[in-house]
């Protein structure tokens, strides 16, 4: 079975102390993850080492960075490289979140460079894609998301694409409380998997985890995750509440 993942995206929230408490509260729920299940905490850069040490002895609990730069190293004040992430043992990085695309002008091409660097340094990219409201209203979401995949991922070899986790996050559902219905999520996830299958073959597409993101909460996670092509979620707001997020973790297939 491909990996089923509950990924928390803290964004720019929590002080160090609040973050530490939140992790303690979630981990003290002692949810035992099965072999095919993972929980990942995407925390702000200054908390990566703390979060790593908190999760170190927990089975299948991991830490992710929320971003990295698209250059190896050098005179890029304020940026963080994948090599830096690797040097502190961070196994995942979220790339192409819609907030990064919108506020920091991250293009599909720039994201392709970030994906390449991450894989080169053995860090698994959690690659985000998803359409804005006007595209959904025009009914062209399938081709919109397909272009995001093609331009940022489809240069990868068969071996490398299998190392990527995809997160489908319709922008109109992020932080809005407006969740895609489980049918809408399944429809898009099945489409993404068919696009992957066309490029890499069905066996490869079948191995790639596709997470849903957009107002996942304790009360809708189970239904969303029960869809055959939805392999868990990337969770913003609800990941900041221990009771909400533990229920979300428990909703994994």
Among 169, 229, 231, 244, binds ligand PEP (CB under 6 A): 169
Q: What angle do CA 99, 141, 135 make, to 5 degrees?
A: 70
Q: Residue 111 or residue 200: which is nearer to ligand PEP going by CB?
A: 111
Q: Residues 127, 167: contact at Cβ < 8 Å?
A: yes
Minimum distance of ligand PEP from residue 80's CB (angstroms): 19
The mark string for 67-106 relative to ligand PEP (x by CB under 6 A, - otherwise) is: ----------------------------------------
Looking at residue 12, the DSSP 8-state letter turns out to be S
Is the sign of the CA dihedral 94, 21, 51, 4 positive or negative? negative
Known catalytic membership, residue 169: yes
Told to judge if 97 belongs to the known catalytic residues of this protein, a careful annotator would answer yes
Q: Which of 234, 248, 249, 252 binds ligand PEP (CB under 6 A)?
A: 234
d(CA 253, CA 234): 15
Structural contact between residues 208 and 196, judged by C-beta atoms closer than 8 angstroms: yes
Angle at 246 between CA 57 and CA 41, to 5 degrees: 55
Residue 170 CB, nearest distance to ligand PEP (Å)?
9
CA distance 228 to 9: 23
Q: Could you say which of 63, 82, 174, 188 contacts ligand PEP (CB under 6 A)? A: 174
Of the chain, the end-to-end C-alpha distance in Å amounts to: 10
Interface residue with ligand PEP, options 66, 236, 249, 252 (CB under 6 A): 236
* Active-site pick, 97, 99, 189, 244: 97
Task: Give the shortest CB-12-to-ligand PEP separation in angstroms.
Answer: 11
The residues assigned a catalytic role are 97, 169
Chain residues in the site for ligand PEP (CB under 6 A): 9, 11, 169, 174-175, 213-216, 234-238
């Amino acid at each position: 079975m491909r990996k089923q993942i509950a990924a928390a995206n803290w964004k720019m929230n929590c002080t160090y102390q609040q973050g530490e408490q939140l992790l303690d509260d979630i981990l003290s729920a002692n949810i035992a993850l099965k072999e095919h299940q993972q929980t990942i905490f995407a925390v702000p850069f200054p908390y990566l080492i703390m979060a790593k040490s908190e999760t170190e002895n927990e089975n299948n609990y991991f830490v992710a960075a929320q971003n990295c730069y698209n250059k190896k190293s050098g005179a890029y004040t304020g940026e963080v490289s994948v090599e830096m992430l690797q040097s502190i043992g961070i196994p995942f990085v979220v790339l192409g979140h819609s907030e990064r695309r919108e506020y920091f002008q991250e293009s599909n091409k720039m994201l392709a460079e970030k994906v390449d660097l991450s894989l080169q340094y053995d860090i698994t990219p959690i690659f985000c894609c998803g359409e804005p409201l006007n595209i959904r209203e025009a009914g062209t979401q399938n081709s919109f998301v397909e272009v995001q995949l093609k331009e940022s991922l489809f240069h990868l070899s068969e071996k490398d694409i299998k190392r990527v986790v995809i997160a489908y996050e319709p922008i109109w559902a992020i932080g809005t409380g407006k969740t895609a219905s489980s049918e809408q999520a399944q429809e898009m996830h099945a489409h993404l998997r068919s696009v992957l299958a066309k490029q890499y073959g069905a066996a490869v597409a079948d191995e790639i985890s596709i997470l849903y993101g957009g107002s996942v909460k304790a009360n809708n996670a189970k239904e969303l995750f029960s869809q055959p092509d939805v392999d868990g979620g990337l969770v913003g707001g609800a990941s900041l509440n221990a009771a909400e997020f533990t229920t979300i973790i428990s909703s994994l297939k």
